[in-house]
Amino acid sequence: MSRNNEYFGVDEKYQPANGKSDIVSNNQVEGYGVRKRRVIRIGKFVIGAWLLYGIIVFAIVVIVMVLFFSLFRGVFSTASGFIGDAGERQQQMSDDYANTSGEMTDTVNNMREDGMTEFEEFSNNMENERDRNNHNFPFVQSAGTKRGTFVSRTIDDVISNNKQVNAGASNGILVSVIFDNKETTDPVELVNIKSSIDTWTDYEVSIEYNGDGYIYQITIDN
């Protein structure tokens, strides 16, 4: 019997005509609660797992960033040091080049100066040698045993030489003649000595050189 869709006088095992019972058993309620708690636990586990995963990922990202920045800082420091070293090496090379260039310039200048000095010395020596030879040439053949005519020509050469020197000639020196133990450079006295020389008499003539190799004295002995 039913009233307002409610059944009276039936027990819990009563099944309606359509085969479905509108009464939920305690086992069904408990099963539903178990499933609900299971779903909640699963949800909490999933949420916790995702949270843990997020924390792990965040930690990994932080670690990677730290390592990256540490590596970048090390690379930057190394690069900065390399650049600094390269700059120092370049500066050192520039300084070495400047020093080497300066030393080479000094060496070239010294060689040039030494070369000029040696050339000047050589030129001066050649000039002195020429002057000395020119001065000595008229007298160098006078030494030895000479006939009076030859001695007279030697005295003429002495007079000519001394006249040039007294006139201011830059090359040559005065030559003195010693005859009868008397030495003179005076042209008048030299003429007197020449007058006393016998043309056909042999005389012993000797010459003396000064420290520069110039003949400066002629001695005539009979």
The model's pLDDT over 185-205, given as tens digits with 9 standing for 90+, comes to 999 999 999 999 999 999 999
In sequence order, the 6+-apart residues with CB closer than 8 A to the CB of 147 are 199, 200, 201, 202, 203
Cα(129)–Cα(137) distance, integer angstroms: 12
CA 106 to chain centre: 13
Digit-coded pLDDT (tens) for 62-115: 888 877 777 767 655 665 665 666 667 777 777 776 777 777 777 777 777 777
What pLDDT, on the 0 to 100 scale, is given for residue 74?
65
Q: What is the mean pLDDT of the chain?
A: 79
Asked if 206 and 143 count as a contact pair (C-beta separation under 8 A), the reply is: yes
Q: Kindly give, in sequence order, each residue whose CB lies less than 8 Å from that of residue 158, ignoring residues fewer than 6 positions away.
A: 139, 175, 177, 190, 218
Name the pairing type of β-strands 144-147 and 202-209: antiparallel
CB contact at 8 A, 210 and 152: no
For residue 121, give the amino acid letter: E
121 pLDDT exceeds 90? Answer: no
Per-residue confidence (pLDDT) for residue 205, from 0 to 100: 96
pTM value surpassing 0.85: no
Closest among 121, 119, 118, 222 to 178, alpha carbons compared: 222
- Secondary structure letter of residue 58 according to DSSP: H
